[in-house]
Structure 1
Amino acid sequence: MINIITVDGPSGVGKGTLCQLLCEHTGFHFLDSGAIYRSLAYGVLDKKIELENQPGLVALASVLPVEFIDGKVWFEGQDISLTIRNEDVAGMASKVAAMPAVREALLQRQKDFARQPGLVADGRDMGTVVFPQAQVKLFLTASAEIRAERRVNQLKNQGVTANINKITQDIIERDQRDMSRATSPLIPADDAFVIDTTDLNIHQVFDKSKQILQNCGI
Structure 2
Amino acid sequence: MILAIDGPAASGKGTLAKRLAAHFGLPHLDTGLLYRGVAMALLDRGDALSDEAAAERAAQVLAPALLDDPRLRERAMGEAASVVAAQPRVRAALIAFQRAFAATPGGAVLDGRDIGTVICPEADVKLFVTASPEVRAMRRALELRTRGQPADEAEILADIRIRDARDAGRADAPLRAAPDAELLDTSDLSIDEVFTKALALIAPAIRDCTHTRA
**TM value normalised by structure 1:** 0.91
Choose the corresponding residue for 1:89, options 65, 74, 77. Answer: 77
What does 1:13-28 correspond to in 2, within 5 Å? 13-28=11-26
| Cα shift at 1:66 | 3.1
| Cα shift at 1:169 | 0.0
Distance of 1:16 and 1:56 partners within structure 2: 28
| Cα shift at 1:213 | 1.5
> Greater share of helix residues, 1 or 2?
2
What does 1:61-100 correspond to in 2, within 5 Å? 61-67=59-65, 73-74=67-68, 80-81=69-70, 83-100=71-88
Q: Are 1:137 and 1:189, in contact at CA under 8 Å, matched by a contact in 2?
A: yes
> Greater share of strand residues, 1 or 2?
1
What does 1:15-54 correspond to in 2, within 5 Å? 15-54=13-52
Choose the corresponding residue for 1:112, options 96, 100, 105. Answer: 100
| Cα shift at 1:107 | 0.6
Displacement over 6 Å in runs of 4+: none
| Cα shift at 1:16 | 1.3
Distance of 2:152 and 2:50 partners within structure 1: 30
Secondary structure (helix, strand or coil) at the match of 1:216 reads helix
Q: Which residue of 1 aligns with 2:145?
A: 156
**TM value normalised by structure 2:** 0.93
Q: Are 2:125 and 2:181, in contact at CA under 8 Å, matched by a contact in 1?
A: yes
| Number of positions where the alignment pairs a residue of Structure 1 with one of Structure 2 | 206
Choose the corresponding residue for 1:197, options 186, 205, 210. Answer: 186
Distance of 1:217 and 1:56 partners within structure 2: 42
Distance of 2:130 and 2:176 partners within structure 1: 10
One-letter amino acid of the structure 1 residue matched with residue 80 of structure 2:
M
Q: Which residue of 2 aligns with 1:129?
A: 118
Secondary structure (helix, strand or coil) at the match of 2:206 reads coil
Q: Are 1:5 and 1:137, in contact at CA under 8 Å, matched by a contact in 2?
A: yes
Secondary structure (helix, strand or coil) at the match of 1:67 reads helix
Structure 2 residue runs of 5 or longer lacking an equivalent are 208-214
Identical pairs, percent = 42
Q: Are 1:27 and 1:117, in contact at CA under 8 Å, matched by a contact in 2?
A: no
